[in-house]
Amino acid sequence: MSKPSVFVKEVMHGQHENELKLVRTELLQQAASSSTPSEQMQNELTEALTRSKAAAEAKVSLENELKKLREELDEKQREITSLRLVEANASVVVSEARQKITKLRDIYNELERDWQNKQLRLCEKIDELSMELEQAKSRTQNEEIEALKLAFTKSIIADQRRKEVKLQQEIEALKTFSTDSIVVDARRLSHGNRDVKPRMYCDICEEFDKHETEQKKHNLLLDAATSASASERLDPEDRSPSSETSGVKRGDTVVVRRAASSRIQHGMLLQPKKHLLIDTAASTRVSEHLDAETGPIRRATIVQSEERFTDVV
């Protein structure tokens, strides 16, 4: 109940008391003025007493109601105080939550900046590693080329040294010959300045007095043609994969190397103990022959005769 209603009840209570006082005063005055009260006065007195009793009861009722109102007011005051405490606690909690949100926002912004910096450093590191990888690849290729050149040079030097040793041995052997062991062909001396027929020499075998280079080529081509015709009669599914050589195409350059020699033709180096032959007149095949000490014979089919091939190793 609100404060104005309590105030109104207190005012009404005061008015009742004032009325009771006035009634009592009037009764006392009337009693004093008349020594023998009449019946009317007795009735008025009774009525006044009744009203006084009713006023007293109303007073008691109003006091009880006022007491209840005061109790309710105290309860409301306690509730208001409790609500104010709750509001104060809520304000503290809200303030702490706002502070935590501010701290978390600062931490998030810091982590975001750190992540962006790490991403930037990572991209820079990736670019740096990519450049180093490209440089390493370039260095590796150059090192491989240099290693091949060095190996080629060493093979040439070793071959030349073997030849020098062989020639030195032959010279030493000639030095040990006695004059008695030398036989002179009288017929050759009798012809005067007649040209001496050169000795037979094979560039492929690098041997004297056995056969000529052309004869060796012819024999090898015949062997290759025979092997090729035999392989052509086979079923394509039964042919060995080694009989077909990839990388040989029309328009390439043929490289020829003498067996066990380091000499190069058409600017390419082949492995030791290998030589390539081509019959530019009629043959339609190139055969890569290995010496007996290195392995078997491999063949590569050519599309048309008198073609030039390269990269046949």
pLDDT of residue 229: 59
**102: Cβ–Cβ under 8 A, 6 or more apart, which residues?**
none
C-beta separation of 69 from 6 below 8 A: yes
Helices (H), 193-286: 213-232
217-223: average pLDDT: 78
Choice among 50-54, 156-160, 199-203, 298-302 with the minimum mean pLDDT:
298-302
Q: Identify the DSSP state of 96.
A: H
Closest CA to 156 of 294, 311, 295, 269: 269
Largest CA distance in the chain: 217
Full strand arrangement of the beta sheet holding 298-301: 274-278, 285-290, 298-301
- Arithmetic mean of pLDDT, 48-74: 87
DSSP H stretches of helix in the chain: 3-33, 39-176, 186-190, 213-232
The stretch 97-105 carries a mean pLDDT of 94
pLDDT at 6 over 80: no
pLDDT value at residue 96: 93
Q: Are 283 and 221 in contact (CB under 8 A)?
A: yes
| Residue type, position 32, single letter | A
At residue 179, the pLDDT reads: 57
Q: Which of 15, 7, 5 is nearest to 55 (CA)?
A: 15
pLDDT band with cut points at 50, 70 and 90 for residue 199: confident
Comparing 67-81, 120-134, 261-275, the range with the smallest average pLDDT is 261-275
Q: How far apart are CA 133 and CA 121, in angstroms?
A: 18
> How does residue 201 score in pLDDT terms, banded at 50, 70 and 90?
confident
Quote the tokens at residue 97: 């939550």
Higher pLDDT residue, 119 or 8?
A: 119
Mean residue pLDDT across the chain = 68
Does the structure show a pLDDT above 60 at 210? yes
Q: What is the mean pLDDT of residues 16-44?
A: 71
| Share above pLDDT 70 across residues of the chain, in percent, rounded to a whole number | 58
Dihedral through CA 61, CA 65, CA 68, CA 72, nearest 10? 180
The rounded radius of gyration (Å) of the Cα atoms in the chain is 67
Report the candidate in 219, 201, 237, 240 with the shortest Cα–Cα distance to residue 289: 219
Lowest-pLDDT choice from 91-105, 122-136, 208-222: 208-222
Answer yes or no: is pLDDT of 44 > 70.
yes
Model confidence at 73, in pLDDT bands (50, 70, 90)? very high
Phi-psi label, residue 300: left if phi above 0, alpha if psi -120 to 50, beta otherwise? beta
Contact 269, 201 (CB under 8 A): no
Among the residue ranges 29-38, 99-108, 125-134, 177-186, the one predicted with the least confidence is 177-186
Q: What is the pLDDT of residue 119?
A: 92
Which two three-digit tokens encode residue 6?
């309590």
Beta strands at 274-278 and 285-290: parallel, antiparallel or unpaired: antiparallel
- pLDDT (tens digit, 9 = 90+) per residue, 140-168? 778 888 888 888 888 889 888 898 998 88
